Amino acid sequence: MLFNSERSVLEHVRYTDAQDGRVFDFYVKRDDLIDPLVSGNKWRKLKYNIEQARHKSSEGILTFGGAHSNHLVATAKACHVAGLKSVGFVRGEELSYNSNSTLMDCAQLGMELVFISREEYRNKEDWEYMNQVRHGFPSFHIVPEGGSNFYGIIGCQEILKETPNDFDHVFVSAGTGTTAAGLILSAGPHTKVHVVSALKGDFMEAQVSKMLNSVVFDEELVEELKGKTVFHDNAHFGGYSKTTPELLRFIKTILAQTQLPIDSVYTGKALYELLRTWKKGELVEHPKVLFIHTGGLQGMRS
Ligand SMILES: *Cc1c(COP(=O)(O)O)cnc(C)c1O
């Protein structure tokens, strides 16, 4: 395959609480190490979309993203390496190829960028609008924002299969919830999957349910799967891409103490929530815990 998930090692990390000196041991699945740009869950979600594009003999992949989108630059690089073209519809008509390092990387990797207004971007899930887009790029495989489709979920099921898959708790950051859906579908029978939303609002459970339904077509099974899922909707630090001095301090502390680099949009918030949950005594005693490092470090440049 194009990118090697063997680089995603399972790492043991020891965290010492600065206040009371208590020690917490956990594992990290380092998907951030797969590639600097096609990082983390973005490769998982693209893998079978690339395969599908090749299978259909598509010219390339067309997708959507914001100005700093990890998914956009991951798509640009994955397509570049796969010998496919890529088109990115970017939210914000005021932007250009030179607006920031993410968009510059996209352009350098050969991605054609189409800058659209926020209003048009909101329409991107409408049937009519999509037909129009399809008409303009008839030979492209279209992938929704964030790689959030069936192939994305299937790819994310491979993350836990590269581990012993016997954890008491698995923590993951969620944007679209695609990665979470893949983990829930593939987790061991005794594992609780903790879905930490990077966005403000309480829609994540419904969103993940919808995605589970799109794969298993069995309401009873979806309910059973949701029984092993915990949704954390209050760890967004003010909302998507919002941050606080406390979160930034936490990210620095973790890097200094454990050498684990995390970002402020996704992984920082999820790891903060994991340690908060542990400190509150909400995990079983001596739990075996896995943190999924979903990547996102490219976005930290700006
Ligand atoms: C995109 C992204 C997420 C969100 O993944 P979803 O599958 O959309 O929930 C989490 N972490 C990082 C670092 C990301 O780039």
pLDDT tens-place string over residues 12-47: 999 999 999 999 999 999 999 999 999 889 999 999
For residues 60 and 86, the answer to whether their CB atoms sit within 8 Å is yes
CA atoms within 13 A on the CB side of 286: 0
Query: pTM for the whole thing?
Result: 0.96
For the residues 207-212, what does the mean pLDDT come to?
96
Per-residue confidence band for 285, with pLDDT thresholds at 50, 70 and 90: confident
With a 6 Å cutoff on the Cβ, whether 266 touches ligand 1 is yes
**Confidence check: pLDDT of 74 > 80:** yes
For the residues 266-292, what does the mean pLDDT come to?
95
Report the separation in Å between the CA atom of 45 and the middle of ligand 1, taken as the mean of its atom positions: 10
With a 6 Å cutoff on the Cβ, whether 149 touches ligand 1 is no
Per-residue confidence band for 189, with pLDDT thresholds at 50, 70 and 90: very high
CA-nearest of 181, 189, 177, 179 to 212 is 181
Report the separation in Å between the CA atom of 141 and the middle of ligand 1, taken as the mean of its atom positions: 21
Testing ligand 1's pocket by substitution, the residue of 45, 77, 173 carrying the most ligand atoms inside 8 A of its CB is 173
Q: Quote the radius of gyration of the chain (alpha carbons, Å).
A: 19
CA distance 45 to 179: 8
**Confidence check: pLDDT of 302 > 60:** no
Q: Whose CA is nearest to atom 15 of ligand 1?
A: 296
Report the separation in Å between the CA atom of 69 and the middle of ligand 1, taken as the mean of its atom positions: 10
With a 6 Å cutoff on the Cβ, whether 177 touches ligand 1 is yes
CA distance 143 to 201: 25
For the residues 206-218, what does the mean pLDDT come to?
95
Q: Mean pLDDT for the chain?
A: 96
For the residues 177-186, what does the mean pLDDT come to?
98
Q: Are strands 192-197 and 140-142 parallel, antiparallel or unpaired?
A: unpaired
The torsion defined by the Cα of 6, 7, 12 and 15, in degrees rounded to 10, comes to -150
Question: Angle at Cα 186 formed by Cα 266 and Cα 231, nearest 5°?
Answer: 45
For residues 175 and 266, the answer to whether their CB atoms sit within 8 Å is yes
Report the separation in Å between the CA atom of 84 and the middle of ligand 1, taken as the mean of its atom positions: 23
For residue 300, the model assigns a pLDDT of 78
Testing ligand 1's pocket by substitution, the residue of 73, 77, 179 carrying the most ligand atoms inside 8 A of its CB is 179
Ligand 1 nearest atom to the CA of residue 266, by list position: 11
The torsion defined by the Cα of 292, 172, 151 and 299, in degrees rounded to 10, comes to -80
Sign of CA dihedral 172, 178, 182, 184: positive
